[in-house]
Amino acid sequence: MKHAIKRNTNAKHLECLQCETIYPIDDYFEGCPACQKKEKPSNVTMIYSNYKKCMLPYDHYISMGEGCTPLLTVDLNEGPLYLKYEGQNPTGSHKDRMSALIVTRAIEKGYRGVAVASSGNAGLSFAAYCAYSGLDCIVISTRELNKNIQSYIKYYGARLILTETAMQRWEQLKQLTKEGFYPGSNYANPPIGTVHFGVQGYKCIAYEIVSQLQGSIPTKIIVPTSRGDLLAGIWQGFKEMEMNSLPKMIAVEPFARITAVLKGEAYTNSFAGKTVLKSIAGSTVTYQAVSAVRQSRGEAIVVSGEEALEAQRQLMKKGIFLEVSSASVVSAYQKLRRRRAIDKDDLVVAIGTSSGFIEI
């Protein structure tokens, strides 16, 4: 099947999030070359000539109807919360926004296919989008991957590689990139996050939220965070709208990583910790995540697996079934409420990144 692909002519160049070096539009899988040489890796972002709407790298791209997800009002004991429910995307998670643009880029540039290191959601998403567009897909995960998700990935026709450790996924992905596959996720260590073409897709969430709130600007956005693609993308979207006020970005993590960096540790360090929250697990931090929190004057908040499971159960009583890692945002909201970091005038939006049905 031939899909219409059209570049956005308003895309001017790329800019490093850290050192602000300008680069021509290209694929920088290991981020800014200048920062990489200094051993302070950083992702790049795309700069456009105007921002009359949510600008993306392509005007026409591979799409399965992702985006325009509902903004639900959830009445909790602590107070009302807006939940941006990304579980309504085609494969049940926010990853579809990223997959659409990366698959488009891989086709445009003539790659053999897309390969991705994933704990589940991204693998499922890329398997579907590659199948839809007729592109080969390889998903690399650990042997702990949910058995049903393994089956779904295979049913889509993707090749599944299972490794013993999470870091081995990145090693495999780096090798597959050398062999002609477009990387759908980070493989560098220390990481930078996913290639900028994918992160661009998450900007649309910010624009949708403002539209759904009829022009009102949230004061806080709560985001489940691992390597920070979603956090950075949403923050970039809000900045591009050039509003008088901007929300504080709240990164939710399963143990202290960004929290430790905000207290003075180097973001290139490794941070040990174990968690059942697989979608936001990992021992590393990216510059893009730390930068979004710092620029927005936000914070990072730790939520345990037990707390996220309790939040998941609370949401189900409200008719909403989130993946347990996604439900961590509700626990984070409750913690902020209890310590009076949220008051009656705050307008808070939490990002429910994926449906709980994915885990069944």
* Res 42: pLDDT: 98
Q: How many domains, in total, are found in the chain?
A: 3
In a domain, 66, yes or no: no
Residue 326 lies inside a defined structural domain of this protein: yes
Q: Please state the rounded mean pLDDT for residues 171-175.
A: 97
Q: Does pTM surpass 0.85?
A: yes
153 has a pLDDT exceeding 80? yes
Q: Is residue 65 part of a domain?
A: no
- 160 within domain boundaries: yes
The answer to whether residue 323 scores a pLDDT higher than 90 is yes
| Predicted confidence band of residue 259 (pLDDT cuts 50, 70, 90) | very high
pLDDT band at 84; cut points 50, 70, 90 = very high
The answer to whether residues 351 and 216 belong to one domain is yes
Tell me the pLDDT band of 129, cut-offs 50, 70 and 90.
very high
Mean pLDDT of 267-291: 96
DSSP 72: E
The pLDDT, as a whole number, for residue 173 is 97
CA atoms within 13 A on the CB side of 109: 18
* Residue 131 to residue 124: CA distance in whole angstroms: 11
Based on the fold, state whether residues 229 and 272 are members of the same structural domain.
yes
Identify whether residues 236 and 352 lie together within a single domain: yes
Mean local confidence (pLDDT), 198-207: 98
How many percent of the chain have pLDDT more than 90?
Answer: 94
Burial string for 97-130 (b: 16+ CB within 10 Å, else e) reads bbbbbbbbbbbbeebebbbbbbbbbbbbbbbbbb
pLDDT value at 256 more than 70: yes
Q: Is the per-residue pLDDT at 22 higher than 90? A: yes
What residue has token string 């567009």?
Answer: 133
Least confident interval from 73-82, 257-266, 287-296: 73-82
Of 14, 34, 60, the one marking the end of a domain is 60
For residues 101-116, give the mean pLDDT. 98
Between 360 and 35, residue with greater pLDDT = 35
Do 276 and 304 lie in one domain? The reply is yes
Q: Residue 55's domain spans which residues?
A: 6-60
Do 81 and 130 lie in a common domain?
Answer: no
Same domain assignment for residues 219 and 80: yes
Same domain membership, residue 250 and residue 105: no
Strand partners for 224 = 252
Q: Which domain-ending residue is among 141, 175, 193?
A: 193
pLDDT at 333: 97
Assigned domain for 178 exists:
yes
How high is the pLDDT of residue 243? 87
What DSSP state is assigned to residue 227? S
Residue 1 belongs to a domain: no
32-55 residue pLDDT tens: 999 999 999 999 999 999 998 999
CA distance 39 to 120: 30
Q: How confident is the model over 98-120, as a mean pLDDT?
A: 97
Both 300 and 311 in a single domain? yes
Residue 56 lies in a domain: yes
Question: Mean pLDDT for the chain?
Answer: 96
Residues 331 and 209 in one domain: yes
Question: What's the rounded Cα separation, in Å, for the pair 357 and 360?
Answer: 5
Amino acid 44: pLDDT:
98
Residues 174 and 280 in one domain: no
Question: Does residue 78 have a pLDDT over 80?
Answer: no
Has residue 1 got a pLDDT over 70? Answer: no
Q: Do 164 and 278 have their domain in common?
A: no
The CATH number that applies at residue 213 is 3.40.50.1100
> Is the domain of 277 the same as that of 155?
no
Residues 6+ apart with CB under 8 A from 65: 90
pLDDT at 2: 67
Model confidence at 360, in pLDDT bands (50, 70, 90)?
Answer: confident
What's the mean pLDDT in 338-349? 93
Of 193, 216, 244, which residue sits at a domain end?
A: 193
Contact of 12 with 256, CB cutoff 8 Å: no
The predicted pLDDT at position 79 comes to: 76
